[in-house]
Structure 1
Amino acid sequence: MNQPSISSLLTLWGFQLPTSTQIKSADRLFVSECQALESLFFKAKATHSQYSDEQLLLGVLAHKYQGLLGAFQQQLPSLLAMRGAIDDNISAEFQGAFQAHIVQQIWLTLHLWLFVQGRLQMDYSLANDYAGQGAELIGQLTTTTTNEWRSQWNQSFYLGRDSKQTKNSCLKQLLIRLRKLLS
């Protein structure tokens, strides 16, 4: 049986890739990162069939984010040195063309992870903490403020929460109409 891809599930659930002037080629990043996660997702799905796709994707994204945090911490000294060299040697108009791939991955992973947390109706304060943590990390390497990053990620949380509520609301309305027809 052909199972839907992660990108298809996210699109079906209402995820919308945010626009960011800081992140180049976000669409390609979305597709490649979703494809990279599929092996782990489908393995988890086969092993833990008692969990929903949303719960499994939450776990896969949490695992991905934790791995990115470790890699980022390890790479931070060289990333800061590279950022300094770029700032010192390249004119301001071209500095934005240089991006560390790990910053892009953290940006996308947090959007996806917080979206899924919202769909699962998880605690906002926890999502906000993760958004703040991510903002502090990548804010060291970008011109976007930590509050702007945190706000962007929180929007994904609310998008996920609202998409689930909209789905539930539509199902409830459909059930009410069906009951009226049958009675």
Structure 2
Amino acid sequence: MSNALDLALKAIKANLLLESQPFETQWDLFCEQYEPLFKHVTSSKPQNAPTHHLLGILTKAHIDSQSMLQTHLKSVKKMEQVFEENLGKEKAGLFENQSLAGLVFVTHLWLYLQGYLKMDFSLANDHAQQTSVTVHSLTEQDTNALRTEFMASFYLGNQHSPIIQSANPIIKWLRSLFGG
């Protein structure tokens, strides 16, 4: 798939996430779903960097995914329970919850971009923790392990960022005062 959104994500090397996780399906679905919005915002505000448009779209996608899953949490749990009761735990486990898979993918992608843009670590960590709690409520996976996996995407983005972080603003101010 090669559309503007796909190319913008590949330009920041977000496709590196595909090497560590089986996200190809979610990648394609995400690009297909958000391509029209990406084209609209890039044509409406061409002066803004594509990464800023990506940040807006990924923030929206994350909020939408998280709230949709939270809204339907009870019914999803009930459905999984029915599958387990009727098919057995092993066969029921073969069904993939697409809403959950989408949330996990969008979270990895969003945190990657936050790292790439050298955004605040603690905010990214809070978002990773929040999503981990949601995922845990459906899968019973360890929240700390999930948060660590999500933050690995933040660090990967940070590692591939061309942005050189400047010194702390307070240090800059002190240096300006003392001529340094």
TM over 0.5: yes
Structure 1, unpaired ranges of 5+: 170-183
Partner residue of 1:154 out of 128, 151, 155: 151
Following superposition, the deviation at residue 48 of structure 1 comes to 1.8
Q: Residues 131-142 of structure 1 correspond to what in structure 2 (within 5 A)?
A: 131-142=128-139
Aligned to 1:126: 123
Structure 2, unpaired ranges of 5+: 165-180
Per-residue CA distance 1:37-79 (angstroms, 9 max, x = gap): 1111111111122321111100011111111222112211101
Per-residue CA distance 1:15-57 (angstroms, 9 max, x = gap): 222545xxxx621221121121111111111112232111110
Following superposition, the deviation at residue 136 of structure 1 comes to 0.5
State the distance in 2 between where 1:38 and 1:97 align. 30
State the distance in 2 between where 1:106 and 1:168 align. 27
State the distance in 2 between where 1:56 and 1:30 align. 17
TM-score with structure 2 setting the length: 0.80
Partner residue of 2:50 out of 45, 50, 53: 53
Aligned to 2:66: 69
State the distance in 1 between where 2:64 and 2:102 align. 11
SS at match of 2:138: coil
State the distance in 1 between where 2:108 and 2:31 align. 12
Number of paired residues? 161
Aligned to 1:17: 17
SS at match of 1:140: helix
Same amino acid, percent of matched pairs: 28
SS at match of 1:49: coil
TM-score with structure 1 setting the length: 0.79
2:96 maps to 1:104: no
Task: Please tell me the root mean square deviation across aligned C-alpha atoms, in Å.
Answer: 2.1
Report if aligned partners of 1:83, 1:141 keep a CA contact under 8 Å in 2.
no
